[in-house]
Amino acid sequence: MKGIDPRTPVLVGIGIVEQKEKDPAKAREAVQLMIDAVRAAGADCGAPLLPAEAQRICVPQGLWGYADPARMIARAIGAEAARTVYAKVGILQQTLIGDACARIAAGEIETAIVVGGEARFRALQAQIAGTEAAETPFDGSPDEVLTPQEELQLALEIDSGLGMMPVGYYALVESAFRAAQGLGVAEHRDRLAAMYSRFSEIAADNPHAWKRERFAAAEIRDATPRNRMLAFPYT
């Protein structure tokens, strides 16, 4: 193809991994899921050995205790020389992708990996069984740590009842959006329910979706014993 800059960043492979193993002793931990996702991305682009050539591996912070998960991934895939990056909560995942693209375009690197993962179902099953979902210990520090410039949450917000989870903050933004659009509360809830009903239809056809069940808008809109209210207007 003519006219394309040879330094143009190209997304060459995507890997998706999920697990629903109920035995925590058999379930893979988060870093193994990330390793498997990277290998799946290599297979997706038709070059299984390409991940080993990565010069930069970026991992956003998750609900696990790894100090340098990118280094654990690098060793597993044979990318020993890769620079490891750990992005703390508040750094958007898209920021990592954009940064990788910018470095490729600038000629700093040829190949980068951005990968994240959780194993919360494994942890939940371990809690139910009264056991521990152990993680592989690893000593070391990432080459780079990306930290948001501003505080992600303020003490005033937490003390006011919003807590630490994002759902309350999203609900406030949602209500502000509704008001800015001049929508009534009932109309807005109808729109949300219809939108999420459509999302469930998409998920039902996605083999990687966690829950592949279609929900009617009426099932989503109002709180029920099966569909509790999280933070108005979100059930």
Give the mean model confidence (pLDDT) for residues 125-135.
94
Whole-number percent of the chain with pLDDT over 70: 99
Domains of the chain: 30-146 (3.40.47.10), 155-221 (no CATH)
Is the pLDDT at 3 greater than 90? The verdict is: no
State the pLDDT confidence band at 1, using cuts at 50, 70 and 90: low
What is the pLDDT at residue 53? 97
- List, for residues 5-64, the tens digit of each pLDDT value: 989 999 999 999 999 999 999 999 999 999 999 999 999 999 999 999 999 999 999 999
Q: Span 80-89, mean pLDDT?
A: 97
- 135, 65 Cβ separation under 8 angstroms: yes
List CB contacts of 167: < 8 A, sequence separation 6 or more: 230, 231, 234
pLDDT band at 205 (very low <50, low <70, confident <90, very high): very high
- Percentage of the chain beyond pLDDT 90 is 87
Cα separation, 8 vs 107, in Å, equals 10
What's the pLDDT tens digit per position in 153-187? 888 888 888 878 889 999 999 999 999 999 999 99
Average pLDDT, the chain: 95
Structure tokens at 55: 């010069």
The pTM of the full predicted model, rounded to 2 decimals, is 0.89
Q: How many helices (H) and strands (E) does the chain have?
A: 8, 4
Residues 98, 104: Cα–Cα separation, whole Å:
10
Whether a cis peptide bond, with omega within 30° of 0, leads into 148 is no
